[in-house]
Amino acid sequence: MSESLEAQLRSLNFNEELKSTFDKIIESCPKFRILLVGRSGVGKSALINAVFGSGVVDEEHGLQAGVVKDINREFVLPNNDRLVLHDSQGFSHGDGQNFETVLKFIKDRSKRPKLEERLHIIWLCIEIPVYGGSLFEIAEEKILNSTDIETPIIVVFTKFDKPVLKIKRKLPKTEDQNTVARNKARETFCTDYAAALSTLSKNIPRVEVSVKSGFKDTLDLLVDLTEKEVKGVISFIWASSQCPNVDLKIEASIQIGRKKYWKGLSTSLNLPGHSLTKWLNVVLKDIISCWGFHDPDGLLESNLFKKKMTSLQEDLLEDDSSSLPKITLGGTAAVAGIISGVIPPAAPFAVPIAAGLIFAAWVYKVYLTSPQVVRALMGYIVDLTIVMQSLFWLTRARAEAVSKGGAAVATVPLTKNLVELAFTAYATDEHSETIHEDLRQFVKRTLVLKPDIVLDHIVELIKSHRFQPSQSFAAKAEAGREAGEDVNWETGVRA
């Protein structure tokens, strides 16, 4: 006979140290290192701007403006310190010295003992010829056919929009004109350069890309290919760094959550030696880290954001909050102790909300034997992940509105207005209400909370309730109106 849900919850506990999984990943490898190989003018700088954020590289002067190009020089993007770029100037006919320099660099960086110092991926960038000409330089072919290069290589054929536009001009205007032109351009490219392409090893992936508007899917392909080529912890750094692919960020959030703390929902609600607020902080840190937002003001880790985030789950504890015993803690010092200190195991109590508390009231009402806590913590994970997705789309809308040159994707610093819009869009579209009702029914009908059941249901909710904010919210993000910018997000008080 199965134990009751309450009996299961009473018998469970956390014994592991509460520490961010993403922090552990950063400790093992804080940097994702890319080598860009390609001649001047092939579009390397524009590609970096499109994948990692518009405007981070001066496209007129390139990655190393005003200096002689040195492949050993590290270029760290101003909006992403987890990413390190190296740039090769490409190879001219007969330029054997530069080829040897590049090859030596690749071999050296492939065998460094520290993972963070190794080269993790090579993007060999080649502009698609529109009016004939050779596809590869001799030195490029040597690199592609080298048998002692351990670093993964992706051949990136740039400016795919040019052959597409050339063909499109000759086609009748129809609804599928763009698709037909793309397919024809890719087919023509493969036919005209069949001999050159046949020299590529089957193990070396290739992709045609463009940074122009309407070609975002080509950037997604490059991001996906890169993710498939890198292994282990590096894949999480990559998911966080890139801008175009929302699917990769969601999957990284799920994979990190599965590693430890989501399992805690079905293996522990007693937190000896740790407070519930610490658990929430760890989950918050891991999830927002996967999204890699440019957050110079630390809005996503501010007190007001934590309060807003946990306020979303208050309805999940309404059923039993009035019937549980409460312990009134006197004085600010006692409350502060709960926030940063220890929750005694198996001691249910509730702390009345007071001015200055970081989280919403329910966080301090620790019902160690209540199924409602399971609902609330599951809700916290799902709500946070979907709010991050909402923020992703609104940030992109704002970035595309201010980007120049028709770049397909971009990023901008987070603002209070964008974060507020992300919350409002989630609530307005009634996703939170639907998700919370689903959670109520799930906990009510689930007598045995096995780890796989809880984890699978969290993932199911995240994937089934993904959404893109409506055009009205996107328009507000594009306009960039900064409502509520006078609020201090640490205290929640207007200036």
CA 229 and chain centroid, separation: 18
Contact 123, 154 (CB under 8 A): yes
342 and 206 share a domain?
Answer: no
Where does a domain end: 185, 214, 232?
A: 232
pLDDT at position 492 is 55
Q: What is the pLDDT along the chain (495 residues), one digit of tens a residue?
A: 334 434 433 433 444 456 778 888 888 888 899 999 988 889 998 898 888 875 556 555 455 543 446 888 988 887 777 889 998 876 665 566 778 888 889 999 988 888 889 999 999 999 988 777 778 888 888 888 887 888 999 999 999 999 999 999 988 888 888 899 999 999 998 888 888 888 877 778 999 999 988 898 899 899 999 999 998 888 888 988 888 788 888 888 888 877 766 665 654 445 544 567 778 888 899 999 989 898 989 999 998 899 899 889 888 877 544 443 332 223 323 333 333 333 333 332 232 333 345 566 666 554 444 677 778 888 999 999 999 999 999 998 888 777 654 544 457 889 999 999 999 999 887 678 889 999 989 888 876 667 678 888 888 999 998 888 888 888 888 887 655 555 566 655 555
12 and 52 share a domain?
Answer: no
- Residue 181 placed within a domain: yes
| Nearest partner of 324 among 357, 370, 359, 363, judged by Cα | 370
Where does a domain end: 232, 247, 279?
A: 232
If residue 83 lies in a helix (H) or strand (E), which one and from where to where?
strand 80-88
| Nearest partner of 69 among 40, 49, 42, 100, judged by Cα | 40
84 and 210 share a domain?
Answer: yes
- Residue 490 placed within a domain: no
208 and 264 share a domain?
Answer: no
- Residue 487 placed within a domain: no
User: Residues 88-104: pLDDT tens digits?
Assistant: 876 665 566 778 888 88
Beta bridge partners of 154: 123
109 and 202 share a domain?
Answer: yes
Contact 222, 207 (CB under 8 A): yes
pLDDT at position 487 is 59
Task: Give the strand pairing for 121-127 and 153-158.
Answer: parallel
pLDDT at position 159 is 94
Contact 245, 224 (CB under 8 A): yes
pLDDT at position 55 is 57
468 and 351 share a domain?
Answer: yes
Q: What is the domain count for the chain? A: 2
- Residue 298 placed within a domain: yes
267 and 122 share a domain?
Answer: no
Q: Is the dihedral of CA 252, 254, 259, 260 positive or negative?
A: positive
282 and 370 share a domain?
Answer: yes
- Residue 485 placed within a domain: no
288 and 423 share a domain?
Answer: yes
pTM: 0.77
- Residue 240 placed within a domain: no
205 and 280 share a domain?
Answer: no
Between CA 401 and CA 395 the distance in angstroms is 10
- Residue 489 placed within a domain: no
What ranges make up the beta strands (E) of 110-263? Answer: 121-127, 153-158, 206-208
**CATH number of the structural domain spanning residue 37:** 3.40.50.300
Six token digits for residue 198: 């046949």
Domain that holds residue 333: 5-22+258-479
200 and 277 share a domain?
Answer: no
- Residue 249 placed within a domain: no
pLDDT at position 208 is 94
212 and 349 share a domain?
Answer: no
User: Residues 341-395: pLDDT tens digits?
Assistant: 333 333 322 323 333 455 666 665 544 446 777 788 889 999 999 999 999 999 9
Extract long-range pairs of 262-266: CB within 8 Å, 24+ residues apart: 262/381, 262/454, 262/455, 262/458, 263/451, 263/455, 264/14, 265/374, 265/377, 265/378, 265/381, 265/449, 265/454, 265/458, 266/374, 266/449, 266/450, 266/451, 266/453, 266/454, 266/455
